[in-house]
Structure 1
Amino acid sequence: MGRLRIHTIESAPEQSRPVLAAVEKSAGFRSNLLGLIAESPGVTQAFAQMGPLLAQSSLGAVEREVVIMTIGWENDCSYCMAFHSFLCRKLQVPDALVAALRSGTTLPDPRLELLAEFTRTVVREKGTVGDDLWSRFTAQGFTSANALDVILALSQQVLVNYANHLGGVELEPALKEFAWTRPSGAAARQA
Structure 2
Amino acid sequence: MSTFNVPTRDQVSENNQAIFDTLKGKLGFVPNLYATYAYSDTALENYLTFSGAKTSLSAKEKEVVNLAVSQVNDCIYCLSAHTAIGKMNGFSDDQILEFRGGYSTSDTKLNALAKLAKNITETRGKTDADTVEAFFNAGYDKGNLIDVISLVGDKTISNYIHSTTQIPVDFPVAQPLEAQTV
Shorter-chain TM-score range: 0.7 to 0.9
State the shift of 1:98 in Å.
Answer: 1.4
Say what the alpha-carbon RMSD is for the aligned residues: 2.2
Q: State the alpha-carbon separation in 2 of the partners of residues 62 and 126 from structure 1.
A: 23
Q: 2:103–2:114: 8 Å Cα contact kept in structure 1?
A: no
Provide the aligned length of Structure 1 versus Structure 2: 179
- Give structure 1 regions of 4+ aligned residues with deviation exceeding 4 angstroms: none
Q: State the alpha-carbon separation in 2 of the partners of residues 179 and 20 from structure 1.
A: 25
Q: State the alpha-carbon separation in 2 of the partners of residues 180 and 45 from structure 1.
A: 30
Matched AA of 1:32: N
- Select which of 85, 91, 94 maps to 1:93: 91
State the shift of 1:140 in Å.
Answer: 0.9
Matched AA of 2:68: T
Compared with structure 1, are the counterparts of its residues 131 and 106 closer, same or farther at alpha carbon in structure 2 (3 Å cutoff)?
closer
- Select which of 158, 165, 176 maps to 1:181: 176
Q: 1:171–1:179: 8 Å Cα contact kept in structure 2?
A: no
Question: Does the alignment pair 1:46 with 2:46?
Answer: yes
**Percent of aligned pairs with the same residue?**
22
- 2:63 is paired with a residue whose SS is helix
Could you say which residue in structure 2 is the equivalent of 1:59? 57
Question: Does the alignment pair 1:145 with 2:143?
Answer: yes
State the shift of 1:105 in Å.
Answer: 6.7
Q: 2:119–2:128: 8 Å Cα contact kept in structure 1?
A: no
Q: 1:20–1:38: 8 Å Cα contact kept in structure 2?
A: no
- Select which of 165, 168, 175 maps to 2:163: 165
Matched AA of 1:85: T
Matched AA of 1:150: V
| Structure 2 gap segments, 5+ residues each | none
- 1:89 is paired with a residue whose SS is helix
Could you say which residue in structure 2 is the equivalent of 1:35? 35
Q: 2:70–2:155: 8 Å Cα contact kept in structure 1?
A: yes
- Per-residue Cα deviation, 1:108-139 (whole angstroms, up to 9, x for no partner): 22221111111111112222223322222111
State the shift of 1:63 in Å.
Answer: 0.6
Could you say which residue in structure 2 is the equivalent of 1:189? none
Could you say which residue in structure 2 is the equivalent of 1:115? 113
Q: State the alpha-carbon separation in 1 of the partners of residues 86 and 129 from structure 2.
A: 32
Q: State the alpha-carbon separation in 1 of the partners of residues 44 and 25 from structure 2.
A: 16
Q: State the alpha-carbon separation in 2 of the partners of residues 66 and 139 from structure 1.
A: 18
Of 106-115 and 82-91, the range deviating more from structure 2: 106-115
